[in-house]
Structure 1
């Protein structure tokens, strides 16, 4: 939908990962772990001396897909993509054991990226990425999901870990309070995020609370409420020092820097000065900092190489023509941004285009959404090959 100057309702970005447990088809090679416990100092950049880990789960997914591809150029590019550091999504309780596997394979030179994403009533304003836990199951979220992740990380103190905390959750409470499912989930969202922040406040962890993107909370009417929501939940958690800031553009399409912005020519653009993620981070970070919370950012550049593809800013599903973007790096040119990172694993669908399917969301049937597309998190080879073809820089 097109955003208005008010607290704009937004269909949440679909960011589901596969629900099955991924097994690496190749034995994990012994890696050189750090000789002593890792401490990520608050206020530092945890990515500045480390490489985002290219986890074996995503590499295995690509390898399996490439086994049936006959185009040598695609298989070569696919192998190159598999070597790019990418966050791993822990989007179900069944996937939590993957955390220990990935921690065991991460060398001292790397930082492992994990996405914490299983709140009760998850993605309350979307259909394709609704979670396994119903609103009201906060206790299960805490004991069966967060606590095992905490235990896995505590058992690997010599590994650096970056966590993105619950994509879409708090932004949904800012803009979709009038949606009944979001209103019902609000208490669990706030308490769940606060619990995660408090329990995961470990020395070897850098946490980033998700803050949507410039086309969501970047509107004049949304910036301050968005900043207030983030800092309020952080304070509820006891102001944990291992929260380094926010994540933006997760599974999104917005440019890091574009002039004019992709939707700068629309009639309501005057109500949103955050026409790219750089302007968004620069606008919201001081407001978050004023609320007492650390306000650095990491920005997902995994699929934002090509702009001008969406009919509307809120279109989030399998956007046609997208390409892999800038590779993960701590060289961002902005003192507020710790790193550009790949969060959404390119090739995994945002949602199904089958209007008769369970979990179908109308955004996946729009003219700018790639078709055919399978259920969220399921591999879509044709889309993966398009991401390669349209990558900037190229593979």
Structure 2
């Protein structure tokens, strides 16, 4: 259920050199001579310097050409940039500027709320409420007037409802409301408050008051399935129910990064590095549903959910897991 920490930089040492954005936003990764560039597909910005891009280059150089091609299924798609460290302003500014230069829109995740992940695999966040407000202000300032999709604090609301004792509910909801309001002061920001996934709080009515306290009225909508595996159909049906419970009119986005084979039902912690999963629908705003603003790859495929099922630390690039996701994908 929890959103595993996604790193802004490569978490494990890999050889190979990441390329730069080519004309028209085409992302090129270094590789063997004559290797095809990784294409930046769709309307969202593709960072050319991701773990997936570096891995593809490394495998191509070492002769693992077939595996490189599969991992490029990840590298060529737009993935969210997770902001989870102090002083986010410079990185936010760099990302929105790079995306604007390519004529694309970046997807950013604000992930620094105090008592993040309730002390579990992705524990961390701001030391206190004042530091968080300052962090959000730096994030928003970094956005400037550039366009961006911003996902606000994966897990924070649903985890509180589910019984997190580490955080004070009133303070947390107040901080989330502040984050939404501050980010919406930036004219290019489309802001989505995270609402968990379809299996976490099955009774969507339980989310209504917490989301209201957390500022959903000022947000563009809510985000579903971040770092989870519920199918797009299940998430969309749940999203419509939640939108109706909120009074109608709210839109939402769905994380489709790893939901190609749906949820795992074979054991404990089905949200944590489950076997047999696959990449899902590539990022797009062409959803065919007027209430669904976009399918996004919020979780970066191939980055671990945490130290379970043999995985490395949360957010760490895991090449073989990434390869499995890509091998089993049907529509990327």
TM-score, normalised via structure 1 length:
0.71
Partner of 2:227: 251
Superposed counterparts of 1:112-127, under 5 Å: 112-124=106-118, 127=120
**Do the aligned partners of 1:122 and 1:129 also contact (CA within 8 Å) in 2?**
yes
- Aligned-pair CA distance for 1:313: 8.8
Query: 2:107 aligns to what SS in structure 1?
Result: strand
Q: How does 1:223-372 map to 2 (within 5 A)?
A: 223-234=204-215, 239-240=217-218, 243-257=219-233, 276-289=234-247, 295-307=250-262, 309-311=264-266, 315-352=270-307, 364=308, 371-372=309-310
Cα drift, residue 28 of structure 1:
5.1
Task: Please state how far the C-alpha of 1:377 moved relative to its aligned partner.
Answer: 0.7
Q: Is the 8 A contact 2:151 2:223 kept in 1?
A: yes
Does the CA-based 8 Å contact 1:21-1:94 persist in structure 2? no
Question: How well do the aligned residues superpose, as a CA RMSD in angstroms?
Answer: 2.4
Query: Offset at 1:170?
Result: 1.0
Distance 2:88 2:315 in 1: 13
* 1:27 Cα deviation from its structure 2 partner: 4.5
1:148 maps to which of 131, 138, 159:
138
Structure 1 counterpart of 2:176, from 193, 212, 225: 193
Deviation digits for residues 59-83 of structure 1, max 9, x if unmatched? Answer: xx22322344232112123234222
String of CA shifts for 1:83-138, please: whole Å, max 9, x gaps.
Answer: 211111101225553212211211364221000111000111x510111434xx11
Identify if the C-alpha distance between structure 1 residues 331 and 63 changes in structure 2 by more than 3 Å, giving closer, same or farther: closer
CA deviations 1:211-268 (Å, max 9, x no partner) are 101101223xxx2120221123217xxx53xx211000001100112xxxxxxxxxxx
In 2, Cα distance between equivalents of 1:341 and 1:326: 8
Identify if the C-alpha distance between structure 1 residues 64 and 94 changes in structure 2 by more than 3 Å, giving closer, same or farther: farther
State the Cα distance separating 1:336 from its structure 2 match: 1.4
- Find the residue that maps to 1:14 and give its secondary structure: coil
Contact 2:195 2:222 in 1 (8 A): yes
Aligned to 2:246, what secondary structure does the other structure show? Answer: helix
For the Cα contact (< 8 Å) 2:150–2:189, is it kept in 1? yes
* Residue 141 of structure 1: how far off its partner (Å): 1.3
| Contact kept in structure 1, 2:236 and 2:254, CA below 8 Å | no
**Alpha-carbon displacement from aligned partner over 1:148-197 (angstroms, at most 9, x marks no partner):** 1111112xx2x311100001001122221xx422xx33233212211111
Match of 1:78 among 61, 64, 71: 71
Give 3-state SS (helix, strand or coil) of 1:93's partner.
coil
Closer, same or farther in 2 for the Cα pair 1:312/1:228, shift >3 Å? farther
Equivalent residue for 1:214? Answer: 198
Give distance in 1, aligned partners of 2:289 and 2:330: 20
Shift of 1:389: 0.5
Contact 1:19 1:95 in 2 (8 A): no
Q: 1:120 to 1:308 in 2, by over 3 A?
A: closer
Alpha-carbon spacing, 1:389–1:80, altered in 2? closer, same or farther (3 Å)? closer
The equivalent residue for 2:28 is: none
Report deviation, 1:19.
6.4
Name structure 2 gaps, 5 residues minimum: 12-16, 26-41
Residue 314 of structure 1 deviates from its aligned partner by: 5.6
